[in-house]
Amino acid sequence: MSDKKIIDFYREELGIKTNEKEIYLKAVTHKSYNHSSNNERLEFLGDAVLDLIVSKQLFVKNKDANEGFLSIEKSKYVSRENLNKVAERILNKNVIKHKSNYLSENMLGNTLESIIGAIYIDKGMLACEKFILKHILQFKTERVLSKNLFKIINKFFYDKKTKVNRRP
What's the pLDDT score for residue 45?
98
The amino acid at 168? P
The answer, yes or no, to whether residue 127 has pLDDT greater than 50, is yes
Q: What torsion do the CA atoms of 58, 64, 68, 69 make, to the nearest 10 degrees?
A: -60
Q: For residue 2, what pLDDT band results from cuts at 50, 70 and 90? A: confident
Q: What is the mean pLDDT of residues 81-92?
A: 91
By the 10 Å C-beta count (0-12 exposed, 13-18 middle, 19+ buried), 151 is classed as exposed
What's the pLDDT score for residue 100?
87
Is 47 a known active-site residue? yes
What's the pLDDT score for residue 156?
59
Marked catalytic residue, from 47, 105, 122, 142: 47
Is 159 a known active-site residue? no
Quote the CA–CA distance of 36 and 76 in Å, as a whole number. 32
Marked catalytic residue, from 43, 113, 122, 129: 113
Count how many Cα atoms sit within 13 Å of the Cα of residue 115 in the half-sphere of its side chain. 30
- CB–CB of 162/155 below 8 Å? yes
The amino acid at 136? I
Q: For residue 145, what pLDDT band results from cuts at 50, 70 and 90? A: very low
Taking only the tens place, the pLDDT of each residue in 4-47 is 999 999 999 999 999 999 999 999 999 999 999 999 999 999 99
**CA dist 33 to 30, 97, 155, Å?**
5, 6, 49
Taking only the tens place, the pLDDT of each residue in 43-81 is 999 999 999 999 999 999 889 999 999 999 899 899 999
